[in-house]
Chain A
Amino acid sequence: MNAFELISMSKGLNLGNLFDVEQEFKRETRFTSKCPANEIIHKIEEAAKPLGFDVHKKNYKLRLENMKAGRKGNLNVATEIFQVAPSLHMVEVRKAKGDTLEFHKFYKNLSTCLEDVVWKTEEDMQEK
């Protein structure tokens, strides 16, 4: 991950917040982890499969597809793992297709399963 990719994640540079009347149901979120990338990938896979998601892997990107169709088609979630430093990874989880509310519910389930992996959530990183 280069310096500018890191910098561009600042809340001060994401002007979408000017327009979000309700910020409750985001289409994208991220968390940091101190676990190695392979472990993170493995844990996400383990968590997503029982929730009914098909997992496609390529390098440090995962594509999770809900095998069951939801309100706006099959929920598709893209995750990508960035190495910020040797011992620190940033994981981005983004809705690629489908209903935002379903994505929000999915992410809530996912984070419960990933408790051991997550070091700081997006809320933790913005609480200052």
Chain B
Amino acid sequence: MAITSSSAIDMVEYCGEDELHVLAVDDSLIDRKLMETLLKKSAIKVTTAENGQRALEYLGLGGCENHDPALTSSGVKVNLIITDYSMPGMTGYELLKKIKESSTVKEIPVVIVSSENIPTRINQCLEEGAQEFILKPLQQSDVKNLRCQMMKINKSCSGRLYLGR
């Protein structure tokens, strides 16, 4: 079977970008450590942030939004953002909104985690575009599930998950 030039490029991209990468946002050190370990156990690379502001900075949204994309290119790929809902300063919901409003990173799926099972809160987040709402504490089964979802999304819109900073 002949390999066309376009599928050869796809193969190279896929092999090179095999590792999934999650940005985990939570003000609790214990929960950050937990999420990190859970994700690493599923062979997922993790970057943690202790609040929404730091998360936005990592995503290149911290400062002036009118940066020239040609000037920045960290090449970092983020497959998923997991954020706690209740955080001082900026809530997970507010972070979600900022991400969805940004032209650069709105394609990155966002999962909200919360210790509280409040239907209005859940609906609010889902309506704002959250991929999923998961009750804390996060379980290994949740991570396996997320991993599957990330793999699927990765295949369909890989290019749009890169951060240009």
| Pairing of A with B | no
Interface residues, chain B, CB within 8 Å of chain A? none
